[in-house]
Structure 1
Amino acid sequence: MDRPERPSNTKRSAPAKQQEPPGKIWKQHASLKILGEYLGLSPATISLVINNAPGAKSISEPTRLRVLAAAKKFDYRPSFFARALQGQRTFSVGVLLPQLNDDYSGSIMEGVEEVLVEEGYFYLTASHHRKPDLIDEYSNLLMDRAVEGFILIDTPTTRREPWSVPVVAVAGHQQVPNVTNLILDQRFAAELGLRHLYDLGHRKIAIMRGAACSSDSDDRWNSFREVAIELGIPIDPQLTLTIPLDMSSPELGYPAACQLLLRKKPFTAIIAFNDLAAIGAICAIREHGLRVPEDISVLGFDDIKSAAYQYPSLSTIRQPLHHIGRTAALKLLHRVTHQEVSEEAPISFLPELVVRQSTGAVRSRAESRPSSKKVVLR
């Protein structure tokens, strides 16, 4: 049975339907204006929601969800450079560090990343390998990308012009305008390390000084020297040397320890510049037929994650690296949010002494001589 045709002048009410432009054009040229036409909302409202601006709190939850769903459906992203030109927040920071595979920097970065992710910030990381020209170039490139601040990890601030954005420098020892320095109490670290070895009976102590390019080298060396003088521990030039290279492997300390051993100047303990150098030193000591700690005690610095799993496990001076990273990020975001210019004293952190197997009491030659007894395996 045929249905009668409806009169042509019959009016029907129907819900408004969102009209979608052609798919390719939409995805290639999606803009706030086009998104506004699709949703029937003003571009300003859509911008508030997508950028999670403070004004977005006044927009109803259903509307916010509609905007976010549409932005996701059509793969809309706000223009990074447009937001920067308009003076809006980019919620991004730059991080400069010597090397990406450095255990020291990596532990700090874990704390930095933890905070930035929690607060909804994006970060751009560049490793400069301690080349001054790269430090300048990368900082300028990141500034061009409208980062709102910088975290410098073991990176000297070599910029000739003042920083125009807040900067937090981990292991920062230079007084630079608009830069907040985070430092370890190196004096207390030297007291912990040298007192530990002194109480174990060590008086002939070799010290590895860090490479000149490392931010902490001079401060740490001066602190150990001052404390040694106070304790009456002689500073023998034959038992001190500066590590000529800066690298992120135990190779850092291996040749230095070999050089000390070849000098034939007796010593009972060695303080390495960091844990990696200490691990390399242990390898060199073993290759020369000596034992750790029976013949030579070895003390590291930093307490990287692998320090506890060496053989012997490494006694070391612990830096709160993860906490330092979190503090750096929190301080930077506070300064960015409140538009603060740094005029404060450096923020200092206390180290801890971690005693494991690589340090022990000084023994007499008879006590330290390897046993000649044969072990019979049955």
Structure 2
Amino acid sequence: MLAEHLQLSQTTVSLVLNNSPSAKSIPAETRQRVLEAAERLNYRPNYFARSLRQSKSMSVGVLAPDLSEGYFTRVMSGVVQELTQAKYFYFTACHDWNPELMKEYPRMLVERAVDGFLLLNTPAEIDVPVPVVAISAHGSEEGVTHIVLDHLKAAEMALSHLHELGHRRIAFMRGPHAIPDSEFRWEGIEQAAKGLGLELDPELVTRIGAGNGTDEVGWSEKTGHHPMSPEIGYLPMMQLLKRTRAFTAVFCFNDIAAIGAVRALTEAGLNVPGDVSVVGFDDIQSAAFCTPSLTTVRQPLNEMGMRGARILLERIANPDNAELTAEVVIEPELVIRESTGPARS
């Protein structure tokens, strides 16, 4: 044991290794000796013992629909940064919108004694005895802190940009029913369009999941494709093009769908942005490296992940704090790149 090896008390060693404020009273030479010995002996603190002392497992459960490139990876990078700094471990469970898994995973994670839950793009309809923070879920569940984007402002930014470029016939690719953001984003689009005097022609509205003649099922189980591959935008755009080409721009639910839409438009012999301008949403890492690079509404996903993890850790540390923040609203930003240009005459 490290304390015996150094012939020091367990309390002294513990205070130094845990960087406790009380460690300042320990002579600098002793502190240095403990740290050097811990490094030399590859010592790791006993988290199980610590968790028993603190009545905490030092772990949280993260629930997400999938682990695909894009939204999840950007949010999770912020989550990991905060949890690692706080020396917290995390279990990530991917439910793929399976109702049974969405009920079972929270139970399994509670059995593993997680101290709290972080929900990514997942409805916060879970009954658990620990703090819950939900990112992009929306809702008013008791005891849940929601971190959401200002979707009205996001829609106003995107549609104002297209309107200024002369676009009046704008197509829309709505998100899947299952994703909480879908309806809130669409409500923002309806409101923003009304403010600009833009008509929302039902003929120009398609939806992720409608690519094979079905609705939600076509988005995951039946196609056999990963929920968040560019095909989610490619198929609806191909279907829209079969119906009509009487539009000069398309506003897609997310960047992954926009990348698929650009591919479909190009295959149909249309130039982006010469014939059709394309706007995405999220500003994932690959958005800047597409050809053409993607104009998009940026969600500060990394920051949202950091804020979510930070708030969850604060709630775990202070479970009796009466001042629970029910909602934190995050501001979007428009990033203009090559995929948008003046409307064709």
Query: Is structure 2 residue 198 aligned with structure 1 residue 233?
Result: yes
Structure 2 counterpart of 1:305, one-letter code = Q
Q: Which has the larger radius of gyration?
A: 1
Q: 3-state SS of the aligned residue for 1:207?
A: strand
Gaps of 5+ in 2: 210-218, 221-226
Q: Which runs of 5+ in 1 are unaligned?
A: 1-33, 365-378
Cα distance in 2 for residues equivalent to 1:314 and 1:46 = 54
**Aligned mates of 1:356, 1:47 — CA distance in 2:** 53
What's the RMSD between the two structures over aligned residues?
2.6
**What is the CA distance between 1:152 and its match in structure 2?**
1.6
Q: Secondary structure at the match of 2:173?
A: strand
> Is the aligned partner of 1:91 residue 2:58?
yes
Change (3 A) 1:343 1:119: closer
Q: TM-score, normalised by structure 2?
A: 0.85
Q: How many residues matched?
A: 329
**Deviation for aligned residue 1:41:** 4.7
Distance 1:90 1:205, change over 3 A: same
- TM-score, with structure 1 as normaliser: 0.78
Partner residue, 2:73: 106
Once the two structures are TM-superposed, the CA of residue 221 in structure 1 deviates from its matched residue by 0.7
Secondary structure of 2:206's aligned partner: strand
Q: Which amino acid aligns with 1:259?
A: Q
CA contact (8 A) 2:144 2:326 kept: no
- In structure 2, C-alpha distance between the alignment counterparts of 1:352 and 1:36, rounded to whole Å: 53
Q: State which of 338, 341, 349 in structure 1 corresponds to 2:330.
A: 349
Structure 1 pair 51/145, CA: closer, same or farther in 2 (3 Å)? farther
Distance in 2 (alpha carbons) for counterparts of 1:198 and 1:72: 61
Aligned to 2:238: 258
Indicate which of 120, 125, 131 corresponds to 2:87: 120
User: Counterpart of 2:156?
Assistant: 191
Query: Offset at 1:187?
Result: 0.2
User: In the alignment, is the contact (CA less than 8 A) between 1:167 and 1:332 conserved in 2?
Assistant: yes
> How far, CA to CA, are the matches of 1:36 and 1:327 in structure 2?
38
Aligned to 1:303: 283
- The answer to whether residue 118 in structure 2 is matched with residue 147 in structure 1 is no
**Cα offset, 1:270, TM superposition:** 0.7
| Aligned-partner residue type, residue 134 of structure 1 | L
Secondary structure at the counterpart of residue 301 of structure 1: strand
Amino acid at match of 2:173: M
Task: State the Cα distance separating 1:295 from its structure 2 match.
Answer: 1.1
1:313 alignment partner, one of 275, 279, 293: 293
Identity percentage of aligned residues:
48
TM-superposed deviation, 1:359: 1.1
Q: Which residue does the alignment assign to 1:294?
A: 274
Q: Is the 8 A contact 1:132 1:158 kept in 2?
A: no
Match for residue 132 of structure 1 among 76, 93, 99: 99
The Cα of 1:176 is off from its aligned counterpart by 1.7
Q: Which deviates more, 128-137 or 95-104?
A: 128-137
Give the Cα separation in 2 of the matches to 1:120 and 1:35: 20
What whole-Å deviation, never above 9, does each CA across 1:189-226 have from its counterpart, x for those lacking one? 11111111111111111111101111200100111012
2:316 aligned partner? 336
Local SS of the residue matching 2:297: strand
SS in 1 for 2:113: coil
